[in-house]
Chains A and B, each alone.
Chain A
Amino acid sequence: MSYLFEAQRAMRSRREAALRRGVVAVLDIGTSKISCLVLQFAPGREAEDSAPKRSLTHGAFRVIGAATTRSRGVRAGEIAAMDETERAIRTAVQAAQKMADVRVDYVIAGFGGGLPRSYGLSGDIRVEDGEVAEPDIGHVLASCTVPDYGADREALHALPVNFTLDGRTGLNDPRGQIGARLSVDMHLLTVDAAPVHNLLHCIRRCDLELAGLTVSSYASGIAALVEDEQELGAACIDIGGGTSGISIFAKRHMIYADAVPLGGHHLTSDICQGLHVSMSVAERIKTLHGGVMATGVDDRDLIEIPAPREGMEDRRQVTRSELIGVMRPRMEEIFEEIRDRLDASGFECLPGQRVVLTGGSAQVPGLETLAQRILGRQVRVGKPLRVQGLPQAATGPGFAAAVGLALYASAPQDECWDFEMPSDRVGARRVRRALRWFRENW
C-alpha cells in the first residue's frame, strides 16, 4: 500500500504543479476514439482563496484546445497495440496543442478497461485528544482493513465516502469536531495492473507526464450527473465503444464502479454479420439509421445498402425493422448485464435510483425506453456538463468522459493519499527498506 501511496502522491504533486503552471491536458482513451482537451486554469487561483488546497473548490478553467481522433490499437478500453495507440495519442495531443497554441506537459488520463472492481472498506479508531485533527483522519484511513485484491491489481481510487463520529454518521469532513470514536467508510477501486502499466508507458513514450489517472466511468459520472442526482444517488452508465462503464454516486461520492466489456462495437459487428456488410458500412448504417424500438413505420422505411464494390450492381435495401431487429438483442444483452451488476452493487438501497445513460452509444434513438424497460428505473440520456470554451462538436454524450476528466482535474475529491500516512507505518517501512539495502549490498 505504501508504494501505491507514494505513486499516487507523486501524481497529485504533478497535478498541483500543472495547475500552478495553468495548463493541463486531459486524455480520454476510449476504444473508438481518443479525445484530448487542453485546459487553461485561471491564474492566481491558489492566491485568491485562502482555504486549504484540498477543499473542493471549483477551479475556474476553460478549454482552449480540443481534438478527437479515431482510436487505434485499443481493445475493450485496454491498449492492445502499443505503437498504434501511441500514434493515436500523439495525433490527438498534437492537434489539441496546435489549437491551444501552448505546449502541454502534464496529462490526466482516463481509460475504460482494466475490469474495475469496487471494495467497501471501513476503519475505526479512537480520537486522540477529543478533537478530530488531520492526523486522526490519516490514522483512521490507514486503519482500514485492505482486502486481498490480488497482486496483479492496482488501487486507482481510495475515496473516504463517509465518516462516523460517535454514532453520528454521514459526515463529510469531521475535522475539528469533538468525539471519541471515529470510523470511516472508504471506497477502494482497483483495476488490473497490466493495462495501467501499459498506459503509463504509452504516455511516457509520448513525452508526457501523467498527473492523474482515473477510470472513465467515474469521469462520466462527474460530468453527466447533475448535482442532486449525485447527492441522492444515481447510476451513470457510460456506453462506449468497447466497454460500458457503470458508476454509482451517492452523497457526491462515487460508491461503486464497474464495467461491462460490451459496447457499441459489438452492435457494429452484429450489423456487419447480420446484414452482410463491411465494418465501415455497418458503422455508418448504425449511426444514421440505428434504433432499438421498432414501430410500424419502420417496416416501410427502406435503408439503402451501398454495393460492396464499385461498379457492381449489387444494391440491396433492408427495412429499418430488420436493422432494429439486429441491434435490439445486443442492446438488451448489454442492459441485462448492467442490471446484474447494478443489482449486485446494492443500488436498490439508495434513496434516488435514477439511471443516466451517456457515452457515444447512448445516442441510439429509443435507448431510454429500452433501458427503462430492462432496468426498471427512471432513465434519461445525459449530456456532459457545459464547460467554458468547449467546442460545439464535443458537447455530445460521447464526450462525457473527457469533460468529466476536466472537472476531475479542476476539483478532485479527497483521496486517501491526500492525508498524511501515520508516521509509524512509513517509518517502519523506511527502516526495513534501509536494512534490506544494507543486507543486499554488504
Chain B
Amino acid sequence: MLPVRRPDPAPSRWIYRLERLWLTPIVRYSVQVGLPVLVLGWMGYLVLSDKGVQDTLRAKAMNVRASIAAHPSMMVTEIKLMDVSPAMKAKVADRIGFDLPISSMDLDLGALHERITEIEAIAAARIRLPGNGVMEITVTERVPQFVWRHADGLELVDAEGFHVGPVGARSDRPDLPVLIGEGADHAAPEARALLDMASPIVDRVRALQRVGARRWTIALVDGPRIHLPEEGAAAALARVMALHEADDILDRAVSVVDMRDGRRPILRVTPDALYQVRRARGLIKEDDA
C-alpha cells in the first residue's frame, strides 16, 4: 500500500483570513448587497448618461403621452362661457389663446385662469372640465360703482377702485356718482364710505373731487363745495352733516364749507350774500341811492 499524497487539509493563512473576513457581518453584507447595488447603479448611470439613449427614452415617453392625450375622451371641443355679458364675452374669448379641439392634457388651466383674471373688469373666474369635451368658464364681473373722470376721459370704477371699462359719456350712466381727479380711482372705497355718510344729500352730490391725489372735495349741485381734510375725512363729513341738519348750512348762501382746519369749520359766503350783509350793516353806501 503506497502512501497516498493527500493535499494539506489546512487552509492557507490567506484563505483562513479571507474566510474570517467573509464571516464578518459588515463585510458580508456590503459584498452581498452593497456591491450588486453599486454595480447596477453604475451600469444604469452609464446607460442613462448616453445622449442617444436619453433621446430615445424621451421620444418614447412623448409618444406614449401623445397617444394618451389624443384619446377622444380627453379632448376639449367646446368652451361655454357662463354668466358673461356680451361685451365681456369677446374679451374673454380673446384671452383663451388656443384653438379647439385641444387635449385636456395639453391644457394649462392655471395659466388660462391667470390670463382671464388679468382682465381688470373680472373679479374672479372659475374653470371646470365637467366632461363630454366641454370646458365651462364662469366669470364674476366687477360691478361699476363710480364714473371716474380723468384727464383722458371717462371710466367706470368699481367699489374697490378697479377699472371696469371706459364709458362714452356721463349721460350713459346717470345712476352712478362721479369721481374726479388723479388718484380718485384708488381712493374709491373711501369715496363709497363718504357717499354712504352723505345719504341725506346724496342726490345733490354732483361729484367727488380728489385734490392733489390726497383729499376729497364734495361738489353739490346747488350748494357749497365741501373741503374735507386728508385725515379723518369721514368724521369731518359727519360734522358737516350735523351742521346741515341743525342749521341747513348747505342750503344757505355759502360757496365753500372748509373742514380742513380741524378746530372749526370755515365757511365762505358767496360774494352776493357778503354784499348784502355789508349793505345791511351800513358798511357800504348805496350806489344807486
Contacts and interface: CB of A to CB of B under 8 A. Distances in A.
Nearest to B22: A103
A180 B153 CA distance: 122
B10 A206 contact: no
B23 A102 contact: yes
Given A101-B23, A206-B16, A90 B1 contact: no
B10 A103 contact: no
Nearest to B21: A103
A270 B246 CA distance: 148
Interface string B11-39: 10100110110011000000000000000
Contacts of B8: 87
A97 B24 CA distance: 11
A207 B17 contact: yes
A214 interface: no
B19 A98 contact: yes
B2 interface: yes
B1 A103 contact: no
Contacts of B23: 97, 101-103
B10 A88 contact: yes
B153 to A, nearest CB: 91
B9 interface: yes
B11 A91 contact: yes
Nearest to B13: A90
Contacts of B2: 309-310
A97 B10 contact: no
B1 A94 contact: no
Given A69-B9, A90-B11, A103-B24, A310 B1 contact: yes
Sorting the interface of chain B by its residue count into under 10, 10 to 19, 20 to 34 or 35 or more gives 10 to 19
A72 to B, nearest CB: 8
A276 to B, nearest CB: 15
A43 interface: no
Contact of A103 (B9, B11, B13, B20): B20
Contacts of B11: 90-91, 94
Interface string A406-438: 000000000000000000000000000000000
Contacts of B1: 306-310
Contact of B9 (A91, A101, A102): A91
Given A307-B1, A308-B1, A90 B10 contact: yes
A433 B8 CA distance: 48
Interface in A173-212: 206-207
A103 B20 CA distance: 6
B28 to A, nearest CB: 9
Contacts of A101: 23
A71 to B, nearest CB: 12
Nearest to B24: A103
A405 B213 CA distance: 103
Interface in A281-340: 306-310
Contacts of B9: 69, 91
B25 to A, nearest CB: 8
Nearest to B23: A103
A229 to B, nearest CB: 38
A121 B14 CA distance: 47
Nearest to A98: B19
A56 B283 CA distance: 133
A306 B1 CA distance: 9
Contacts of A93: 16
Contacts of B19: 94, 97-98
A98 B10 CA distance: 14
A88 B9 CA distance: 9
B129 to A, nearest CB: 62
Contacts of A69: 9
B20 to A, nearest CB: 5
A80 B11 CA distance: 20
B10 A91 contact: yes
Interface in A20-40: none
Contacts of A94: 11, 16, 19-20
Contacts of A102: 23
A87 B10 contact: yes
A222 B10 CA distance: 31
A309 B1 CA distance: 4
Contacts of A97: 19-20, 23
Interface in B180-208: none
A246 B142 CA distance: 112
24 contacts: A69-B9, A87-B10, A88-B10, A90-B10, A91-B9, A91-B10, A91-B11, A93-B16, A94-B11, A94-B16, A94-B19, A97-B20, A97-B23, A98-B19, A102-B23, A103-B23, A103-B24, A206-B16, A207-B16, A207-B17, A207-B20, A306-B1, A309-B1, A309-B2
Interface of A: 69, 87-88, 90-91, 93-94, 97-98, 101-103, 206-207, 306-310
Interface of B: 1-2, 8-11, 13, 16-17, 19-20, 23-24
Given A90-B16, A97-B19, A206-B16, 19 more contacts: A69-B9, A87-B10, A88-B10, A90-B11, A91-B9, A91-B11, A94-B16, A94-B19, A97-B20, A98-B19, A101-B23, A102-B23, A103-B24, A207-B17, A207-B20, A306-B1, A307-B1, A308-B1, A309-B2
Q: Which 10 A-B pairs have the closest CB atoms?
A: A87-B10, A103-B23, A91-B10, A90-B16, A310-B1, A94-B11, A103-B24, A103-B20, A90-B10, A90-B11
